[in-house]
Amino acid sequence: MDLRATLQAATKEAMKARDSARLSTLRLIGAAIKDREIAARTGDGEGTLSDADLVAILSKMVKQRQESAKAYEEGGRLELAQKEEDEITVIQQFLPRQLSEAETAAAIDAVIAALGATGIRDMGGVMAELRSRHAGQMDFGAVGPMVKARLLN
């Protein structure tokens, strides 16, 4: 089952179970997908999104909520921070499993070896290949410094 169908089925289940918190988050996901489809439609006439596009949307939503939760915690609004954390939990159920630190290091080494990367000038190519192979499976903000350290050694 593709990701879009999985999301629709989860929304129906949340409606039937009267799980308002989960339903709210699933509707936010649906709205973000619709917005992205509309934006894609105005550009080239085709408004369909691939599963990779949907994973990118979900990853962005998680990152936004992590930043919001941090801001709420710093501001002493713990109930709002908890709400953001709950939304993150729901969204992450539809993302691919995150790679562990060891798996991430192995993936970086494999891409560097496959591309024959030797210096910092190759970093863009390595990052692009990692994004294509492991979209949604790793935090590329944290991976960037790891790649840079490997290429400088």
Non-local CB neighbours of 101 within 8 Å, separated by 6+ positions: none
Token output for 96: 């691919």
Quick one: pLDDT at residue 39? 85
Q: What is the CATH number of the domain that holds 111?
A: 1.10.10.410
Q: Same structural domain for residues 122 and 84?
A: no
Do both 105 and 67 map to the same domain? no
**Could you tell me if 110 and 148 lie in one domain?**
yes
Q: What is the count of structural domains for the chain?
A: 2
41 and 67 together in one domain: yes
Whether 69 and 132 map to the same domain: the answer is: no
Residue 12: CATH number of its domain: 1.10.1510.10
**Contact predicate 29/61, CB 8 Å:** yes
Question: What domain range includes position 144?
Answer: 101-152
Whether 39 and 15 map to the same domain: the answer is yes
CB proximity list for 91: less than 8 A, separation 6 or greater:
25, 29, 58, 61, 62, 65
Overall average pLDDT of the 11-18 stretch: 95
Tens of pLDDT, residue by residue over 111-153, are 998 988 888 898 899 999 988 888 778 888 888 898 998 888 7
Give pLDDT tens digits for 84-118: 999 999 998 998 888 888 889 899 999 998 988 88
Distance CA 28, CA 33 (A): 9
What pLDDT does 52 receive?
Answer: 78
**105 and 86 in a common domain:** no
Whether residues 81 and 118 fall in one domain: no
- The verdict on 19 and 41 lying in the same domain is yes
What's the token pair of residue 74?
């710093």
Q: Which two tokens stand for residue 40?
A: 């894609």
Alpha-carbon distance of 137 to 34, in angstroms, equals 23
Tokens representing 113 are 């070896």
16 shares a domain with 84: yes
Of 7, 131, 111, the closest CA to residue 58 belongs to 7
| Same structural domain, 57 and 109 | no
Instruction: Encode pLDDT of 21-67 as tens digits.
Output: 999 999 999 999 999 888 888 766 566 788 878 888 998 899 899 99
pLDDT of residue 41: 80
d(CA 32, CA 36): 6
pTM exceeding 0.85: no
Q: Please report the pLDDT score of residue 18 as a whole number.
A: 94
Task: Examine the domain organization and report whether 72 and 114 are in the same domain.
Answer: no
- pLDDT, residue 65, reads 94
